[in-house]
Structure 1
Amino acid sequence: MRIWIDGSARVPPYEQLRAQLQLMVSSGRLEPRERLPPIRALASELGLAPGTVARAYRELEWAGIVEGRGRAGTFVVDEPPVAFSVVERQLADAAEAFADQAKRLGVDQPSAMLALETAFASRSDPDPDTG
């Protein structure tokens, strides 16, 4: 599972984590009945406090995307209530490919994100429908 938390972002870490996990469920990268990593293990892996991960899991549970089963862990529900369009699925795939390529090149996340932001900024017309 590839999750990136940007400590310099304006979005709080728990929200970054929640959004990425929701995207993984929506795109099918986390399948129904799949167990999420234990809170402490994921917190340690991401360099976050366990309470931060717990909050993200709690918000996903409130949204009906995952369910906590006590000591057994947290699991994606059988039928997550998350709609995911074809365009969003293609965007998620493109993002995965970009991240893989950046990693192969030995580029860290901040540098890769800067390259992506620079590419967007260099586009004279951000809306392809008006072109």
Structure 2
Amino acid sequence: MIISVDPAASRPPYEQVKQQIEQLIRRGELAQGTRLPTVRQLAGELGLAVNTVARAYKELEADRLVETRGRNGTFVLASRSQVDDEETRAAATVFARAARRAGLSIAEATRVLNEAW
């Protein structure tokens, strides 16, 4: 797993780590069930504090992309298709709520969606 952190970047290091792992999962480079490096190992490789990597892992876990199994390690939980499906469902839910607030019927909302497609 190749991850780098730019100390001069405006984005905090934990966000850089989180984003890069998330991208690896989305691209299928980290498959479901893949064990991630330990927090200490990755922190050492990147020259970061252990708490920085732990925060990135914790946020990935909150997003249901990885799962920490105690002393067994942290594993990729979601496959690329699961991540894409969840994002699509979330976007559809946001769109449906906005359409209802705007007073659109299902037919009108479908028309708007078809036009955007």
**Counterpart of 1:21 in structure 2: which amino acid?**
I
Matched residue, 1:83: 84
What does 1:57-72 correspond to in 2, within 5 Å? 57-72=57-72
Matched residue, 2:111: none
Shift of 1:79: 3.9
* In 2, Cα distance between equivalents of 1:33 and 1:26: 14
Q: TM-score, normalised by structure 2?
A: 0.68
Matched residue, 2:9: 9
Mark the structure with the bigger radius of gyration. Answer: 2
* In 2, Cα distance between equivalents of 1:27 and 1:50: 26
* In 2, Cα distance between equivalents of 1:22 and 1:77: 11
Matched residue, 1:129: none
* In 2, Cα distance between equivalents of 1:4 and 1:57: 15
* TM superposition outliers: structure 1 runs of 4+ over 3 Å: 78-81
Shift of 1:11: 0.1
* In 2, Cα distance between equivalents of 1:60 and 1:17: 10
Where does structure 1 lack aligned partners over 5 or more consecutive residues? 85-131
- The count of corresponding residues between Structure 1 and Structure 2 is 84
* In 2, Cα distance between equivalents of 1:25 and 1:70: 21
**Counterpart of 2:84 in structure 1: which amino acid?**
A
* In 1, Cα distance between equivalents of 2:52 and 2:69: 19
Give the number of the structure whose residues are more often helix, by fraction. Answer: 2
Q: Do 2:18 and 2:57's aligned partners in 1 also have CA atoms closer than 8 Å?
A: yes
Shift of 1:83: 1.8
Matched residue, 1:53: 53
Shift of 1:78: 4.9
Q: TM-score, normalised by structure 1?
A: 0.61
* In 1, Cα distance between equivalents of 2:24 and 2:48: 19
Give secondary structure in 1 for the equivalent of 2:4. Answer: coil
Matched residue, 1:116: none
* In 1, Cα distance between equivalents of 2:12 and 2:78: 28
Shift of 1:68: 0.4
Q: Do 2:17 and 2:53's aligned partners in 1 also have CA atoms closer than 8 Å?
A: yes
**Counterpart of 1:14 in structure 2: which amino acid?**
Y
Matched residue, 2:29: 29
